[in-house]
Amino acid sequence: MIALTFLFALLWDRALGWGFKDGVLHNSIWLERAAGVYHREGRAGKYQLTYAEAKAVCEYEGGHLATYQQLEAARKIGYHMCAAGWLAKGRVGYPIVKPGSNCGFGKKGIVDYGFRLNRSEKWDAYCYNPNGKDCGGIFTDSKHIFKTPRFPHEYENDQVCYWHIRVKYGQRIQIQFLDFDLEEDTACMADYLEIYDSYDDVNGFVGRYCGDELPDNIISTGNVMTLKFLSDASVTAGGFQIKYIALDPPKKNATTQDNTNYLVGRFGIV
């Protein structure tokens, strides 16, 4: 019985960490981004963006606030989010695919809070970035190499790419940097690669990288990882080439011997 409880606690912990967000089980990373639309929280967490800030966040990433129609187009292909966000022209809403009692008032469709008179209200943001579609991807194979667009030539300005990696349950992901060269900047605010030890780019922030120093290998704590590459409006560089491999669960008495960064805890080093 104790063993069973423990196992349940373990599985539940894992499910909370990887499967659930805002009370919705995400069993498909496809749903995190659909038809060019994606959800964005402020750095400080949920419901922290005024209209002007939400707009700036999307524009900073090379897109703009999604229109109601763009959000509905994404919803129609399965985009479901239980978080209200700013849309174009000061509208607020969120897309519901599966009706639930804890979200969306049991309805399906866009839950529409209408055009807000008070634009200082704080919500999340729904961005639309059609250019983000031609880079990034979703990988489920046990190893893969991915590159900045046009590699080995320089990447372009105003690019945002997301790579989602999902390997088999129980496996971990090892990230190896083969080539790395992004515009150098002290806080990596210009061009950067961000790595997340989770299925999205909200939770599990591991690090932000720029410059031309090859980062150390990274190993995830779970079977999913997200990488985000962003370039701003000026100055480009050679880009990167990154390989990942799926690692089988380690043997009981295995020891670590290289300089790999094993992520501590579910969400790594913030």
Q: Does 161 bind Ca ion (CB under 5 A)?
A: no
* Among residues 235, 241, 260, 266, the one that binds Ca ion under rule CB under 5 A: 235
Q: What is the chain's percent helix, strand, coil content, to nearest 5?
A: 20, 35, 45
For residue 118, the partner it binds in Ca ion, ligand NAG, none, with Cβ less than 5 to 8 A by kind, is ligand NAG
Q: Which amino acid is at 126?
A: Y
Asked if 190 interacts with Ca ion (CB under 5 A), we say: yes
Quickly list DSSP for 114-152.
Answer: EE-S-TTS-BEEEEE-GGGGGS-EEE-SSEEEEE-TTTT
Phi, psi of 103 (to 5 degrees): -155, 125
Give the one residue of 5, 253, 256, 259 binding ligand NAG; rule: CB under 6 A: 253
Question: Which residue, among 193, 156, 179, 194, has the nearest Cα to 62 in the 3D structure?
Answer: 156
The token pair that represents 197 in the structure block = 């030890």
When asked if residue 186 is in the footprint of ligand NAG (CB under 6 A), the reply is no
Please identify, among the stretches 115-123, 135-143, 179-187, 233-241, the one whose residues bind ligand NAG according to the rule CB under 6 A: 115-123
Q: Which is nearer to Ca ion, 124 or 183 (CB)?
A: 183
Please, which contacts does 115-118 make with residues 24 or more away whose CB atoms are closer than 8 Å?
Answer: 115/89, 115/90, 115/91, 116/51, 116/90, 116/91, 116/92
Q: One symbol per residue from 213 to 242: x for binding ligand NAG (CB under 6 A), - otherwise; what is it?
A: ------------------------------
Alpha-helical regions (H) of the chain:
2-14, 51-60, 68-76
Q: Does 181 bind Ca ion (CB under 5 A)?
A: no
Reference 86, options 119, 62, 129; nearest CA is 119
First to last CA, the chain: 36
**Binding segment toward Ca ion, per CB under 5 A, in 52-60, 176-184, 206-214, 245-253:** 176-184
Q: Minimum CB separation from ligand NAG for residue 93, in Å? A: 17
Applying CB under 6 A, which part among 35-43, 54-62, 113-121, 189-197 lies near ligand NAG?
A: 113-121
Task: Please tell me whether residue 252 binds ligand NAG under the rule CB under 6 A.
Answer: yes
Which of ligand NAG, Ca ion, none does residue 190 bind to, with CB < 5 to 8 Å depending on kind?
Answer: Ca ion
Residue 121 contact among ligand NAG, Ca ion, none, beta carbon within 5 to 8 Å by kind? ligand NAG
118 binds ligand NAG (CB under 6 A): yes
58 φ/ψ angles, rounded to the nearest 5 degrees: -65, -40
CB of 206 vs ligand NAG, minimal distance in Å: 30
Pairing of strands 33-34, 37-40: antiparallel
Closer CB to Ca ion, 41 or 232, in the complex? 232
Binding site for Ca ion (CB under 5 A): 183, 190-191, 231-232, 235
Binding site for ligand NAG (CB under 6 A): 118, 120-121, 252-253
